[in-house]
Structure 1
């Protein structure tokens, strides 16, 4: 069977460019011209048209997604559920107006960034690219980006460079949003992300679990920390009995965000 050729018409090419950018983050003009088998002038024309719609940002030698598209590509609006928003609003209510806080990767970190009140003038540390995009556009206060190797599955930075950036910092509160939680601890989907989350736990005076029921029903392979590193928890509903008992043993009484 013959493999399908590259898209030929302008609408098809531009759709292909957007889809590929959501996966790889950046595409050079030269690479696009080669893959799509058109001239670089044609590619520049496509990119300028995409930039005019607010979906692509032209950078030196190529293009990346515009901030709005980055946010949507990383965490579609359907992932920001009402339950997540309720937990995020409750968590944001725990933040002092001049606090230094850490936001975790994932939809919950973005939801908390959005829920911070206008009076917040403190500092936010985060390795979440969508949270950084939102905070630098829409919020007052300082933002510290914890850069490093980009992990597309979480739209976040991980690895030794990220961990080195964390090492000399300090925060009042880390809002940790793990992929899974059980009576033994908090879990991430990858060892690289779990390693960054452990470093963030180490620099925070308080570690607040922010989670919806999904985290209690999911498993993940990489242990971040045991439950005794938590100082508080905010959930959309009461955790399962065994987990609630385990949290109680370490002095954490989950706060259930009101409807």
Structure 2
């Protein structure tokens, strides 16, 4: 069988996953006669479809629950996530009120914002961090608790968020591709949309594994946010595809031209 077309490759990957429970990206790339990057893209697609779970060096069968536990996701890529959060601080200069979405990449920001900042959030880890700090103003958004994302959602949460006008909304996502911003939970998607409506500047924080990936629920197009901030592990092809589709994508730690932002004439987004 030839493996030059994606459907055939993915069927073979699924067959091997079912038989062995794990596939190595490098090994299967060699055996199928394609590049390892091609296999990683296939595995990313299968993960987005809920059929595989990417791990270091390859992929395994997915969990049978509603996705990976929050604490497990928080540990995975924690270094990259903190780097992204630190880079995001530059975009928050002059912001008095910041809305923080639920997500393991956004959560570290709660401990980094300058004293006196007003934090609006439905994320339990963010709320807890703000309470422990004691030197920020906190608007804790309540509602129906979701253990998967450790956050509150529902109509009550949407109404609370709608009452506030924030300077910057910092968002998370399960995946981002050229069609837009994606997540795995409809209640989560509704809150992201509400956060976007309240903010002057919208920033999306995603580690490189989310770029070009897929998830079942579309939050909105790439124009939903002003800036996408990711880490240096991003695939250049993914970055180019998003930029060609009109997105402003910034890689944390790289020197990039300043991007226009609604908090001022220019918002500096690149340092090296």
Inter-partner Cα distance in structure 2 for 1:98 and 1:226: 25
Q: Is 1:193 equivalent to 2:184 in the alignment?
A: no
Inter-partner Cα distance in structure 1 for 2:155 and 2:162: 10
Q: How many residues align?
A: 185
Counterpart secondary structure, 1:121 = coil
Inter-partner Cα distance in structure 2 for 1:80 and 1:113: 18
Inter-partner Cα distance in structure 2 for 1:114 and 1:78: 17
Inter-partner Cα distance in structure 1 for 2:97 and 2:175: 25
Matched residue, 2:80: 83
- How big is the alpha-carbon RMSD for the aligned residues of Structure 1 and Structure 2? 2.2
Which segments of 5 or more consecutive residues in structure 1 lack a partner in the other structure?
1-72
Query: 1:22-171 alignment to 2 at 5 Å?
Result: 74-75=70-71, 78-79=75-76, 81-96=78-93, 99-116=96-113, 119-171=114-166
Counterpart secondary structure, 1:130 = helix
Inter-partner Cα distance in structure 2 for 1:243 and 1:200: 25
1:74-109 residue CA offsets vs partner (Å, 9 max, x unmatched): 535624611001001111232135521111101112
CA pair 80-115 structure 1, distance change in 2 beyond 3 A: farther
Inter-partner Cα distance in structure 2 for 1:152 and 1:229: 26
2:230 pairs, out of 230, 235, 245, with 235
Inter-partner Cα distance in structure 2 for 1:91 and 1:181: 18
Counterpart secondary structure, 1:94 = helix
1:256 pairs, out of 242, 249, 252, with 252
Kindly indicate which of the two structures has a greater share of residues assigned to helix: 1
Q: CA deviation at 1:248?
A: 4.7
1:142-197 residue CA offsets vs partner (Å, 9 max, x unmatched): 11011100111000011111111111111111111101111111111111110111
Contact 1:167–1:203 (CA under 8 A) maintained in structure 2:
yes
Inter-partner Cα distance in structure 2 for 1:220 and 1:160: 23
TM-score by length of 1: 0.65
Contact 2:95–2:167 (CA under 8 A) maintained in structure 1:
no
**Which stretch of structure 1 is more off in the superposition, 154-163 or 93-102?**
93-102
Matched residue, 2:215: 220
Counterpart secondary structure, 2:105 = helix
CA pair 179-146 structure 1, distance change in 2 beyond 3 A: same
